[in-house]
Amino acid sequence: KLDEGPDDQIQLYRDLKKALNHYRSIAQKGGWPTVGLPQGKKNLKQGDKGPEVVMLKKRLMATLEYSGSESDVFDASLHQAIKDYQARNGFTVNGIADADIIKSLNIPVANRIRTIVVNMERARWLSPEMADGEEFISVNIPSYKMRYVRDGQTALESNVVVGKAANRTVVFSGKMSYLVFSPYWNVPKSIIEKEIKPAIDADPDYLDKHNMEWNDGNVRQRPGAENSLGLVKFMFPNSNNIYLHDSPAKSLFNREERAFSHGCVRVQKARELAREILKDDKKWNAKKIDEAMNSGKEQHYTLNRKIPVYIAYYTAIADKEGRVGFYDDIY
């Protein structure tokens, strides 16, 4: 068992440490049972029966993720436990234990312990401002999730799309200071050279078709529903030129793997985030926010306080009960 230390003031570290103690106790007992699928079956789902269901229940019991009957029936409580496991680990939530879920459950406890230890070390470097912060926005890249905390409570959670491996979203922190409604997208020079110019060579009307225009030797996309930044962006000035923004490509948010962007973070619930951030600002209400987002005219608004933003990279996050969500190391 780990002793108390200065890092125990950080909740993320404390939760992972609790999980580590439990996972080490599992390892000392020889690990958890291996889960299999019945011959000729692609999954286990509600209503199924057999020894494989028993092993599935025992495997989830080992990590405190199921506490129901040990019968050989895939019942409603196991269905819910699988849904919880899928949500915790970034899978599509349907309550069906398919090959991907089985593969995840069968990763050896020693591997999971190594992952927890690595993430405990990352948690040690967490800013005290975030550990104790009353208001902040955090993005965890591997889980494709954003969380907005206000008054010490989670006010909003959202799926996000992050940078693909070639355009990695970097780990850093900043201070959100202003929003931009109906933004122009100033296309980065690298994208102009690699993507826009070849597209113009192939089709001289490419810019018009994509609502783009030349602007002082650069290319920008005009505000509107098809703008690559969507209808609002959230700015925290930084040397990486990364920010949060809306997106017209809504279907990407429903995929299990969401590393598609050129480096910035696309927020599924961008409209809701704008509303939450401006909730106590007397100059704004839901109607005015919607009007600004759909005006077609770029508008900057400076916030009346600066909100810390943390772009993090955790491949394991535990809850207070010691249940762990593990995420693929996408970079």
What is the C-alpha to C-alpha distance for residues 244 and 264, in angstroms, rounded to an integer? 6
Q: Within a 10 A sphere around the Cβ of 96, how many other Cβ atoms?
A: 19
Up-side HSE of residue 194: CA atoms within 13 Å toward CB? 6
Identify residue 150 by its one-letter amino acid code: R
In the chain the first and final C-alpha atoms are separated, in Å, by 31
- Whether the CB-CB separation of 256 and 92 falls below 8 Å is answered with yes
Cβ pair 133, 238 in contact under 8 A:
no
The answer to whether the beta carbons of residues 260 and 268 sit under 8 Å apart is: no
- Just list the catalytic residues: 245, 264
**CA torsion sign, 149 to 150 to 153 to 159?**
negative
Beta bridge partners of 28: none
Rounded Cα gap, residues 301 and 100, in angstroms: 45
What are the C-alpha distances in Å from 194 to residues 260, 262, 330? Answer: 16, 12, 24
- Please give the Cα distance from 312 to 289 (Å, whole number): 29
Cβ partners under 8 Å of residue 22, min gap 6 = 63, 64, 322
DSSP state of 107: S
